[in-house]
Amino acid sequence: MSGRPEKPVVRRPWHVWLVSIIVFALYVGGARDYLLILMNDTDYIRGQFGQGGIIYFADYPVILRIIWTVNILGGLLAPVLLIARNRWAFPVAVTSASAQGVLLIATFALLNRWAMLGTVTSWFDMGIGIVTALFAGYCAALRHRLNPERQ
């Protein structure tokens, strides 16, 4: 006996695994895109985005590549941290969602993303942004549910 009151063990809901696996899989696909684009695989870029994609990614600004890297790494790491019950899952998910939001705003406003990459890609990427933001909200809700003293 240590003299300290024991904290009750709060069971992790089953859906943590499901949600985390879905988000992780989504970001594995995003990491593949990221790496192939970073390696300037023109066949891949043309196949995914058409000729506009070649032009779009040819002069992609370094600062946006850094933000994109933060988004991808956060999107891969946050679900793993959530499964591991690590307290950093929520901040990493928020960072990833924030990076995705900045990317969407900057690329639509400054790089003519809609015209260069097309409607389907643009809507898909907005959907990824929404999923990432919802995942951050999910992490926040779980954090509060599993640790009510942490506000």
pLDDT, tens only, 7-44: 666 677 889 999 999 999 999 999 999 999 999 999 99
Stretch 111-139: mean pLDDT:
96
**Residue 124: pLDDT band by 50, 70, 90 thresholds?**
very high
CA distances from 122 to 24, 68, 84, 109 (A): 21, 15, 33, 13
Question: Residue 50 has what pLDDT?
Answer: 93
Unique residue bearing structure tokens 């015209």:
115
For residues 75 and 126, give the distance between their C-alpha atoms in angstroms, rounded to a whole number: 15
The pLDDT, as a whole number, for residue 148 is: 54
**pTM for this prediction:** 0.87
Confidence of residue 143 (pLDDT cuts 50, 70, 90): confident
- Cα–Cα distance between 73 and 93 in angstroms, integer? 10
> Which of 58-94 are b and which e, b meaning 16 or more Cβ less than 10 Å from the residue's Cβ?
eeeeeebeebbebbbbbbbbbbebbbeeeeebbebbb
